[in-house]
Structure 1
C-alpha cells in the first residue's frame, strides 16, 4: 500500500484522527463505566467519518482517476521454484 499513496490526503488523515480520538474517548469512558461518555465518544467516531467524507467532497481527498489507478496491482513475474538449481 505504501507505493499507491493510499490514504495520504488531508481528508483521510483528518477523518482517521478524529475517529481515533473518538475511540479513545469511548474506551476511557467504558472503563470508567460511564455510558453517556461512551456514547459521546461513539458520536465523535461518527463525526470523524462525516468530516472525512465532507473534506473528500470538497476536493481534499484522492481524485477519482488517481484512485482508480492506485488500485491496479503492478505486474510481476515469478520464476518457478528451484529454477536456479
Structure 2
C-alpha cells in the first residue's frame, strides 16, 4: 500500500490523537484505582472516534473515489 493516503488526513490524525489521550487518561486512572476517572478516559476515547467521523463528514477525510482509483491502478 505504498503511496496510498490511508490515514494521512486531518480527520484521522485528530481522531487518533484524541483517542490516544483518552486511552492514556483511562490507563492512568485505572492504575490509581479511580473508577470515575477511568470511565472519563474511556468516554474521551469514544469522543476521539466521533470527532474523526464528524471531520470526515465535513470533507477533511480521505476521498473514497480517489482511493478506489489508486487501488485499481496499482492492481493493473
Q: TM-score, normalised by structure 1?
A: 0.79
More helix per residue: 2
* Higher normalized contact order (CA 8 Å, seq sep 6+, divided by chain length): 2
Give the whole-Å Cα distance in 2 for the aligned partners of 1:29 and 1:72: 46
The aligned length equals 76
User: 1:8 maps to what in 2?
Assistant: 8
Q: 1:62 offset after TM fit, Å?
A: 0.6
Contact 1:6/1:70 (<8 A) preserved: no
Seen in structure 2, the aligned counterparts of structure 1 residues 31 and 65 have a Cα distance that, compared at 3 Å, is same
Counterpart of 1:48 in structure 2 is 48
TM-fit CA distance, 1:3: 1.7
Q: State the superposition RMSD in angstroms.
A: 1.8
Stretches of structure 1 lacking an aligned partner (at least 5 in a row): 77-85
